[in-house]
Amino acid sequence: MTVPAFGLGTFRLKDQVVIDSVRTGLELGYRVIDTAQIYGNEAEVGQAIEQSGVPRDELYITTKIWTDNFAADKLIPSLKESLAKLKTDHVDLTLIHWPSPKGQVPVAEFMGALLEAKQQGLTREIGISNFTVALMGEAIAAVDAENIATNQIELHPYLQNRTVAEFAKQHGIKITSYMTLAYGEVLKDPVIGQIAQRHNATPAQVTLAWAMQLGYAVIPSSTKRENLESNLKALDIKLSDDDMAQIAQLDRGHRLTSPASLAPQWD
């Protein structure tokens, strides 16, 4: 299996809002849904999937293990709880959401438990999120690169995270970009605006297309049907080398997510 290029994120969406977003996304043709234990919405995501009538084998569902559940005796039980909420006997991808705060649980311990979850059939693929090059190295040492499907990281035109992306590529690990639109900041960028005009597209479509053209997966979220529908059209956009070069120059190391209690020493 490989991580699909385009999916639906559910970060910060709760209760009926997330049910509506997922249900609408599935109606429009989305088949990849990304959630997490800490989002507090797995049960609602499961409800929306169940009510949609879309067969399970057409879906690619991702969840993420929260830091409280990293210990070897907690990880698999917590994943089983997630599966119950999601109303499925397996997910397609399970990620370690953040590195263990202050290294309290060794990388080898939680990656070993995650690999065991894969071997038990609870998840088809495993991966990591918010991992630096050094931490990726530890994860590879623990379970081998071939068992790490993706590293999901903040990545957008203003934070292109090339050091991590290049290391991942060298080891055959796909990058999944979250916050690809930088909370909407890049949508006001004049360079992206000009590229969008040339392609008769929106700035969001251009930005998502840029990330996918670099080989990254994207998981934008929205509560609005028109945005969910519009974002899908990013799959049809082909940017020129000049377009890509212009967006490459927008990188300024502008990180939006770095919680003091969780963030590692970023590359």
Q: Compute the distance between CA of residue 111 and CA of residue 207 in angstroms, rounded to an integer.
A: 32
- Whether residue 155 contacts residue 177, with contact meaning beta carbons closer than 8 Å, is answered with yes
Does 178 participate in catalysis according to the annotation? no
Sign of CA dihedral 35, 28, 174, 182: negative
The rounded distance, in Å, linking the Cα atoms of 133 and 138 is 9
Catalytic option among 30, 39, 158, 178: 39
Q: Which residues are tagged catalytic?
A: 39
